Amino acid sequence: MDREISGLSSMATRPVLAELAEHIRNVHGIPVEFEAAGGVEIARRVREGAASDVLVLAEGALEKLVAEGYVLGDTVRPLWVSRVVAAVPEGAPVPALDSEADLRAALVAARGIAYSTGPSGTALVDLIARLGLASALGDRLVQAPPGVPAGTLLTSGHADLAFQQHSELMDLQGVTVVGRLPGDTAISSVFGGGVMTASRRRERAGEVLDLFGSEAASRIARARGMSTPGT
């Protein structure tokens, strides 16, 4: 077998990449291993010299690392779209989310609102401000530590409403996913991948990235709550 291709990613894509790495190993004979952490933490590690072959992050963070020379720009490609969903503790009443008015009502009724670090958390805070609820909800917003699913704040009792990428909430025990945010309040992130400048196996890493764009990879992503760009 070939030497292992190593990768770094944020937590949102961890379930997809774990299953996809196994598929690539079994079907294509290429050993692939990804390490996941919060997106901010991964970007910090890259800037501090973390050695890896492939990087998968939200597009904005990836673009910054390309500009700083850590990722080869001509290898970067969009991979998956991840949408933010709302969740409540298992057994709790499930609020309606059919309209912006429903979302407002759910936010105002919540005693604690959990959100994540990274792009989806920033987008949620911006949305709350756009809805004119920043002052009313400010002391009820609870940010999960980097790399920790916001849904764990539901099971620990620190919040009764949480927002995060679907892939990070869908399999969390003790949590019920309510659904996507309605209409113009919807939040999504595009995750992309690229070959790291420090990689010593650039050609093979590029082949792995190509496999991330395969139909098999798309099926795995859909099963894990994501979609491919343009779908």
**How does pLDDT run across 76-105, given as a tens digit for each residue?**
999 999 999 999 999 999 999 999 999 999
Prediction pTM value: 0.85
| Pairing label, strands 161-165, 32-37 | unpaired
Spatial CA neighbour of 168 closest among 53, 36, 35: 36
Which residues partner with 142 through β-bridges? 114
Say which DSSP state 149 is in.
-
Q: Six-digit token pair at 3?
A: 């030497």
* pLDDT at residue 231 greater than cutoff 70: no
Helix extents (H) in the chain = 14-28, 39-47, 59-67, 100-109, 119-130, 134-137, 152-155, 166-169, 202-212, 215-223
- In which band, very low, low, confident or very high, does the pLDDT at 1 lie, cut at 50, 70 and 90? very low
Say which DSSP state 72 is in.
-
Q: Which CATH architecture has domain 82-185?
A: 3-Layer(aba) Sandwich (3.40)
Lowest mean pLDDT segment, chosen from 12-21, 108-117, 198-207, 222-231: 222-231
Q: Where are the domains of the chain?
A: 5-81+189-227, 82-185
* pLDDT at residue 120 greater than cutoff 90: no
Tell me if domain 5-81+189-227 and domain 82-185 are identical in fold. yes
116/165 Cα distance (integer angstroms): 9
How is domain 5-81+189-227 classified at the CATH fold level?
Answer: D-Maltodextrin-Binding Protein; domain 2 (3.40.190)
Q: Six-digit token pair at 72?
A: 């080869």
Which residues partner with 5 through β-bridges? 32
Give the mean model confidence (pLDDT) for residues 45-70.
Answer: 96
